[in-house]
Amino acid sequence: MAVTPVQYAVVVAILGSASFILGVLAELKKPAAGEVITGKEVVICKYPSDPSVVFGYASFGLLLAAAITGYQSLFYPYKGKSIPKAALFGSSWCTSFLFVSVANTIFAAIFLLWPTITEQLLHTRNIHSDLDYECPTAATGLLGGGAFVSLNASLFWLVSLMLTSNVRDDYFEDAQTQETI
């Protein structure tokens, strides 16, 4: 069974949307702060059980899968025909949207991983010698922002796929025209 650009587009859209949804859920489920328990010369932070760390990592994983699928869709030989990379990168629109897609993916990954890893570290390293420690959580808003940038990245991968399809069509039309001459 041959894979079509539409099938790739559907997969990228589903993965990007799922990454967005899980990123938003991670932001919404993140606790405001942990409970301070003072012990003998230490403060122990007890955080409520929440799925924000799992949602954050899952959102990152889906973003990564969407980006890999999006990148792969650009160079896949549809109908057994591949075009030279020079033809793809010869189009300034195609190249610029590819770079914007990659940049958005990197920013989304940073915005999703940074608070997720911070939250995980806060949950695991919860004993502190500073008696004034207040048991904070990761910065508010980064996971939600990462979710939106993740959705934006998947949309840019879709635009890149559309532009690549146009470049492919033009390349094969030009090649067919030159064969008939």
d(CA 80, CA 166): 17
Please determine, for residue 176, whether its predicted confidence score (pLDDT) is greater than 80: no
The residues facing 52 across adjacent strands are none
In a domain, 131, yes or no: no
Residue in 144, 68, 132, 78 with CA at minimum distance from that of residue 108: 144
**Confidence label for 181 from pLDDT (cuts 50, 70 and 90):** low
Q: Which amino acid is at 35?
A: E
In a domain, 49, yes or no: no
| Beta carbons within 8 Å of 149's beta carbon, 6+ residues apart | 104, 107, 108, 111
Q: Which amino acid is at 87?
A: A
Per-residue model confidence as pLDDT tens digits over 65-107: 999 999 999 989 888 888 888 888 888 888 999 999 999 999 9
**Confidence label for 173 from pLDDT (cuts 50, 70 and 90):** confident
| Rounded average pLDDT over 5-30 | 96
Give the helix/strand (H/E) hosting 127: strand 127-128
Average pLDDT, the chain: 91
Q: Which domain holds residue 106?
A: 5-30+55-117+140-180
**Confidence label for 175 from pLDDT (cuts 50, 70 and 90):** low
Would you state the pLDDT for residue 1? 62
Would you state the pLDDT for residue 2? 79
In a domain, 63, yes or no: yes
**Confidence label for 141 from pLDDT (cuts 50, 70 and 90):** very high
At 116, list the tokens. Answer: 């997720």
The number of distinct structural domains making up the chain is 1
| Beta carbons within 8 Å of 65's beta carbon, 6+ residues apart | 15
In a domain, 20, yes or no: yes
Q: What per-residue string of b and e applies to 88-106 under the rule 16 or more CB within 10 Å gives b?
A: beebeebeebbebbbebbe
In a domain, 110, yes or no: yes
